[in-house]
Amino acid sequence: MSKKSLQRSRLLLDTSFILPVLGFESSARVMRAFQRLGSYELYYNDISVLEALWKIVKVIKGTRKELQRIKEGVIAIKKTMKYAPISGEVVEKAIHMYKLGHKDMIDNLLYSTAIVNKLKLLTVDRELIEFVEKHDLVRDAIITPEELE
């Protein structure tokens, strides 16, 4: 396997792809992509889990069943995915993106984590993709559901 195809097979999941693992449906585009993730090595970062939880707590009632489903999802993430850490270099790159005008630090941290750890960020975030392209950042570090093999 070539180095390029190895990199293509390692995906850092954006928050939209963490939500279904925690038991909450995301867009149809995200849900369709799940069928193609089996051949990829999946990575997560706690930033995505935190952002997913922010979204989830706004819509749940807090029932025991909901909490159990979320807990099981977190356990599944940690058991089945690899952890992509945030380093000083990641923070430096994320702040650089912020200073260039992209004010979503979660996106900045996830994109920078993908760059530094030689992963591809799987995302549906059109705004992030357009920002990366506009500022000649590494577009190859992002993959959309439609680009999955």
Q: pLDDT 10s per residue in the chain (149 long)? A: 444 444 448 999 999 999 999 999 888 999 999 889 988 999 999 999 999 999 999 999 999 999 999 999 999 999 999 999 999 999 999 999 999 999 999 999 999 999 999 999 999 999 999 999 999 999 999 999 999 98
What are the sequence ranges of the domains in the chain?
A: 3-147
Task: Write down the pTM of the prediction.
Answer: 0.91
The H or E element that residue 51 is part of is helix 46-57
For 106, the 3-state DSSP assignment is helix
Q: For residues 112 and 97, is the Cβ–Cβ distance under 8 A? A: yes
**How many angstroms separate the CA atoms of 137 and 120, rounded?**
13
Taking the mean position of all CA atoms in its chain, how far away is CA 145?
Answer: 12
Residue 110 burial (C-beta neighbours within 10 Å; 0-12, 13-18, 19+): buried
Domain 3-147, CATH homologous superfamily name and number: 5'-nuclease (3.40.50.1010)
